[in-house]
Each structure stands twice: as C-alpha cells, then as structure tokens.
C-alpha cells in the first residue's frame, strides 16, 4: 500500500510539473525585447517600447528582459532572439523596421514563441510579407500625430519658418514629415497662421545615429532663421535637441517624436525647448500585446494599425510650452481627424491646403 501511495504521489508531482512548466507557462510569464540601434534609454523608440513592457511586468506580473545586439544585421538580431528564447522568454518584442528580415526567419524557427514586430511586417529576401500565426505586426498612423504636432506648433508660434529633419527616408519617417506639413498647411488655411516650410528645409540625414550631424544641420537651419524644427531622427534628433538647448535664449524650438521628449529638451528645471511631440503610443502597443497573450487573445497572423481613432497616436496631453487655448484647439482639430471629418494623407503629393 505504501508503494502504491508513493506511486500516486509521484504521478501527481509529474502532472503538476507539466502544468506549471508547459509551453504556455513560459510564453505567458516571460517577455523579452531585442533593442534596435541605440540604447534602452534613447528617449525614443527603444525606451518607449521597453517602458510598455516594464509596465506589463508590474501590472501583469510577468518577467521582463531586454538584450542589445552587437550590430544591426539580421544575424545580430536573430542571435539575441535565440538567446531570449533559450532563456525561456517566448514572447519577444522587436521595435523597428530593421527587424523585418529577422522576424521573418525567427517566426518559422521558433514556432512556439510569440513575436511582436513594431513598425514593420516580416518579409523575406524577395520582399514578400508573411505574418505567421505566432506573429503580430503593428503599424502607426504617423501622419496623424505629425498633423496634430504641425497644427499645435503653428498655432503657438503663429508666423515664421519651420523645418523638418528626418533620419533614414523610410515610410514611418516620411509619414511624420507629410503629416506635419499638412498640419501646418491646415493651420495656415483655417486658423490664421502664417508658417512657411521651404523645400530646402526638409532634410533626411540618412541615419538614426549621427548626433553630430543632427546638431550641425540644426545649427545651419537656425542660423537661416528657422524657428521650429521637427526632428524625426533618433540619435540625429538628439543632436537637434542639443543645438536648440544651446540656443534656448534665442527662442528656437524642437518638435519631438515618438514619445514625449519634454524632459530631454530641458535646459533648466521645468523649462524645455520641446514645443510639443508627435507621439505614437509604442508603449501602449507593447503593453496591449503582452496582455492579449495573457488573456489568450494574442492576435497572431494579423497586422494592427494604431491611429487617432483608437487613441494610438497624438501629442502629449499637457505641455507648458503650449497655451491652454492652443491645446484646446488642437484637441478640437484632432477630434475631427478621429471622426474622419479631416483626412490626413499618408503619402506624398496630397497635402491638405
């Protein structure tokens, strides 16, 4: 009888172990992230994504970890994805279009993992997009947040010259630019502003990492009389912010990108050269996907779009550099975008006049 009891106990323990350590447990309780170029505290894409994962870790009681690759090739990314997977992190979030090829390979190699790809869809060497059942691709309507930032900046400054500095000339950055120009054009046509954006003042630097080049470009534009630069450029944008901070006494401004960059633009306590920021809520997107997985509702195989209609893009709710009247007017205009009354184009050549 004692032997039989021991046998039943052993079976029970094995069953419990299977329930506790099965594939679902690892996928549910461990969430990893591989960073794009830059650091985890870049005040932009990496940091925004990681903050959403950290919030999920606190709110939803999951383990979190990030790894920084040594380079930015598919092989570099796949190596760190594999390291996370081997450590039991089977929900893996990757921010940025550069992960497109890596996730295309990883989603097939690690079929029991879940992948969240932000700002891109998995694509093979032939460019063909395949979103596997264990992957979700997330895009944002950058043109709508750029539009809101353009309206806000124009209303606050009223007259003068604006400029745009982008990093690489890729669709998300282009949409920010086109949306910003449409926002300025809308304000000029409907809200009595007089802002000029010259073609020569729309610049793509070509990288997201050259801080010095960003500062040099900003200096040249400010020297020509530009009052506001919208910088959608990662590390290049850091250079723009640095130059504006050095000229804070001259009344120049920067429009931040991706996240609220007010704190990064502070040149003394409570005072910042960030006029507003064109935000896409990458933190919320990352959080939503972790929660969806926990709830058994991971939208694998889908492409999701975050836009003004689902509050996935916009500008910060508060910024001391915008007056209450400007903030209220921008909210009114953005409500029209949300309802569809105002349509912001996501391509070039159809700018609102």
Q: Where are the domains of the chain?
A: 2-140, 142-281+311-339
Tokens 């060497």 found at: 125
Tokens 């594999």 found at: 82
pLDDT of residue 349: 54
Q: Which CATH number fits domain 142-281+311-339: 2.40.160.40, 3.20.20.70, 3.40.50.2300, 3.40.50.150?
A: 3.40.50.2300
pLDDT of residue 16: 36
Residue 84, CA distances (Å) to 27, 105, 196, 220, 231 in order: 11, 15, 48, 44, 33
What is the rounded distance in angstroms from the CA atom of residue 111 to the CA atom of residue 113? 6
**Do β-strands 63-67 and 313-314 pair in parallel, antiparallel, or remain unpaired?**
unpaired
- With 0-12 CB in 10 A as exposed, 13-18 as middle and 19+ as buried, what is 187? buried
Neighbours of 42 (CB within 10 A): 22
Q: Which two tokens stand for residue 133?
A: 């059942």
CB contact set of 126 (below 8 Å; sequence gap of 6+): none
Report how far Cα 273 is from the mean position of its chain's Cα atoms: 21
Contacts 24+ apart (CB under 8 A), 104-110: 104/130, 105/74, 105/78, 106/78, 106/81, 106/82, 107/132, 107/134, 107/135, 108/132, 109/78, 110/81, 110/82, 110/85, 110/134
pTM, whole model, 2 decimals?
0.86
310: left (phi over 0), alpha (psi -120 to 50) or beta: alpha
Q: 2-140, superfamily in CATH?
A: Response regulator (3.40.50.2300)
Domain 2-140 and domain 142-281+311-339, same fold? Reply is yes
pLDDT of residue 37: 79
CB contact set of 340 (below 8 Å; sequence gap of 6+): none
What is the pLDDT tens value at each position of the chain, 353 positions in all?
444 344 433 433 333 333 333 333 444 589 999 998 778 887 778 899 999 999 999 999 999 999 999 999 999 999 999 999 999 999 999 998 999 999 999 999 999 999 999 999 999 999 999 999 999 999 999 999 999 999 999 999 999 999 999 999 999 999 999 999 999 999 999 999 999 999 999 999 999 889 999 999 999 999 999 999 999 998 899 999 999 999 999 999 999 999 999 999 999 999 999 999 999 999 999 999 999 999 999 999 999 999 999 999 999 999 999 999 999 999 999 999 999 999 999 877 544 43
Report how far Cα 68 is from the mean position of its chain's Cα atoms: 17
């Amino acid at each position: 009888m004692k032997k039989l009891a021991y046998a039943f106990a052993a079976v029970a323990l094995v069953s419990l172990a299977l329930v506790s350590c099965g594939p679902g447990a690892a996928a549910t309780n461990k969430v990893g992230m591989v960073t794009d170029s830059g650091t985890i505290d870049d005040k932009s894409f990496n940091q925004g994504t990681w903050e959403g994962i950290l919030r999920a870790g606190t709110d939803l009681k999951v383990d979190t970890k990030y790894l920084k690759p040594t380079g930015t090739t598919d092989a570099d990314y796949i190596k760190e994805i594999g390291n996370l997977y081997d450590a039991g992190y089977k929900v893996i979030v990757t921010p940025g279009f550069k992960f497109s090829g890596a996730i295309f390979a990883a989603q097939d190699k690690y079929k029991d993992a879940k992948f969240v790809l932000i700002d891109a869809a998995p694509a093979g060497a032939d460019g063909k997009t395949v979103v596997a059942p264990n992957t979700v691709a997330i895009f944002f309507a950058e043109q709508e947040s750029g539009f809101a930032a353009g309206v806000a900046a124009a209303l606050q400054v009223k007259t003068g010259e604006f400029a745009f500095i982008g990093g690489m000339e890729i669709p998300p950055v282009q949409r920010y630019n086109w949306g910003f120009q449409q926002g300025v054009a809308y304000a000029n046509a409907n809200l009595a502003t007089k802002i000029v954006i010259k073609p020569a003042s729309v610049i793509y630097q070509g990288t997201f990492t050259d801080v010095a080049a960003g500062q040099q470009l900003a200096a040249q534009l400010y020297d020509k009389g530009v009052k506001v630069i919208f910088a959608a450029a990662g590390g290049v944008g850091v250079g723009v912010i640095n130059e504006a901070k050095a000229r804070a006494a001259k009344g120049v401004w920067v429009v931040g990108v991706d996240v609220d960059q007010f704190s990064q633009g502070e040149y003394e306590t409570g005072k910042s050269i960030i006029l507003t920021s064109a935000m896409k809520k990458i933190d919320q997107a990352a959080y939503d996907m972790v929660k969806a997985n926990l709830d058994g509702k991971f939208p694998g195989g889908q492409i999701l779009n975050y836009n003004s209609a689902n509050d996935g893009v916009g500008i910060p709710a508060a910024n001391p550099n915008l007056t209450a009247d400007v903030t209220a007017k921008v909210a009114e205009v953005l409500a029209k975008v949300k309802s569809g009354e105002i349509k912001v184009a996501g391509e070039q050549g159809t700018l609102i006049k």
